[in-house]
Structure 1
Amino acid sequence: MNVGTALALCSMGVSAFAVLAVGAVYARLRGLERAEGAGDAARLAPAGLSPAGGQAVSLVVLLDGGCALCPGLWRQARAFTADRPDVRLVGLVAAEEAARRLADPGGPGECAPLADPGAWAEMYEGYTPCLYLVRANGVIAHRAFVYADTDVPALLTRALPAPAVPANQGGRA
């Protein structure tokens, strides 16, 4: 084999890899376009994440055991919803090990993360942590990715509707 033949074979290998890479990127983009194009169609959360017991909404916090932001976000979400009986807080992780790592028995609220690989895979969009607001009918009403510079209390205030105040408990008569 001479140098020219070796160079041609290497060039063909690189070209084949490039074609496969472009095909993979194209397939991913088409999938994202389909998901975005169905923007008018309501996205449903897995049944186990819906509010229960008369609660208005579920705040689903999609977490990952290896995520640096996840423990802090989980603590903040627990503190924010501790006095909100109308909100079901669900910390969703893919593995029991991650649930144990994120569990904080001394922290605010009594909620421990739920390890459900199927629900986690259905909700996961390529990034954690992420917040989802799920209505009583199972429709995902809000989604927000949380980054290192995200103002989490402000995000939670915007995402969660204010609790309803009964007519006989404050407000104008």
Structure 2
Amino acid sequence: MLREWVNELAMRAPPLLSRIRAQSRALAPWQGEVVDVDRFWADAWREMTIRQQKLARRLMLAHAHWSVDQEQGLIHFERQDGATLSAPVQIIGAWNPETHAFTWAWDHPSVQTRLRADAERTRWFGEKHGLPELTDRSLIVSEQEAWRLTAVAMKVNAAQGVYRGPTEGPIVFMTLRDLKVQF
């Protein structure tokens, strides 16, 4: 049942950045294998949706306070029940809800270099496959498209999941690994 729902969700998701890139059926090499780029995008969305559902059920972070320590490269969560969680984090980009501009972390002045590695690898993937939405410094996109860019970054970098961190300004999109819970 869950699989059917996720597949339906993936099919209903609007084509990512269709005004930037026409649908491609070209095959492209990726680490020695042949990959259909459009399928890669769809698979990334599907995988992110499944992982996020599992993380949401298991970790209950919907109302948790969060902060990123760029010096340590960690994100910290404080849940309402007193539990704390931490994980290595990479910043993918920031989306501004007022202007709809998504700026990649690899070119964002407030992101330390060590937290840009996943965004850099995603840009490399975009360069290798001619995907301007992964190589242009900033894009005008919807929030759902910002999620989809982050899903591709998650897949390219084999991250455990993603987090959308709201702030008083832009929304920060991040990839996470090895979440640890402490009570």
Q: Same fold per TM (> 0.5)?
A: no
Say which one has the larger Rg: 1
Q: TM-score range by the shorter chain?
A: under 0.3
Calculate the TM-score normalised by the size of structure 2.
Answer: 0.27
Calculate the TM-score normalised by the size of structure 1.
Answer: 0.28
